[in-house]
Amino acid sequence: AHENPELLCVYTAFEAGIFHRSCGWVLPAIYDSFSVCPDGSILANLDGKQGLFDANGKILLPLSETKISPLGEVYLLAMTLKTALPQSEETNLGFIDAAGKELLPHIYTDVQHQEDGTYIVFEGNKKGLVLTDGTFEPAEAEPLPPELEPQKEE
């Protein structure tokens, strides 16, 4: 749900878009679905791909297979990469800000949200801390205690 009364969410039988009462189409009604984030940016889905747009429809991240999740002031990106093994995939995580600027590269294997709004990121057996404003404290070199190890999916 968005707070801007000038924006109209337009849905047809199979498509969705966003229309601004004064300026016209922000996103044409060609998308499978979309969501308006609390900061006014727009996550749009089309044919299994996601893109991120600002409130005026300017592309921040073009449509791709990267999965985008809003996390307060930053966005978490999950990029699935094919590995050298047949039929094997690996997901690497990274962060961008609301302007589409990369804050952290796609190198993390797990992200855990903390109650204080920060995120612990994991790269192998090292960890780092992402603060609520998107700043980063580098990964530590020592191994993690077992209770902080990322959980492996079976």
pLDDT of residue 1: 42
When pLDDT is averaged across residues 28-39 and rounded to a whole number, the result is 86
pLDDT of residue 32: 93
Q: How many percent of the chain have pLDDT more than 70?
A: 72
| 98, pLDDT greater than 90 | no
When pLDDT is averaged across residues 2-30 and rounded to a whole number, the result is 82
| 82, pLDDT greater than 60 | no
Cα separation, 38 vs 106, whole angstroms: 24
When pLDDT is averaged across residues 111-125 and rounded to a whole number, the result is 79
Nearest residue to 25 (alpha-carbon basis) of 12, 4, 51, 7? 7
Q: Best-predicted range by mean pLDDT among 6-15, 43-52, 137-146? A: 43-52
pLDDT of residue 134: 62
| 125, pLDDT greater than 60 | yes
User: Is-above-0.85 flag for pTM?
Assistant: no
Tokens describing residue 21: 């009462």
| 153, pLDDT greater than 60 | no
Instruction: Answer for the pair 95, 75: CB distance below 8 angstroms, yes or no.
Output: yes
Helix, strand, or coil (residue 71): strand
Nearest residue to 64 (alpha-carbon basis) of 84, 83, 44? 44
pLDDT of residue 105: 79
**82 or 48, which is more confident:** 48
> Which residues partner with 108 through β-bridges?
93
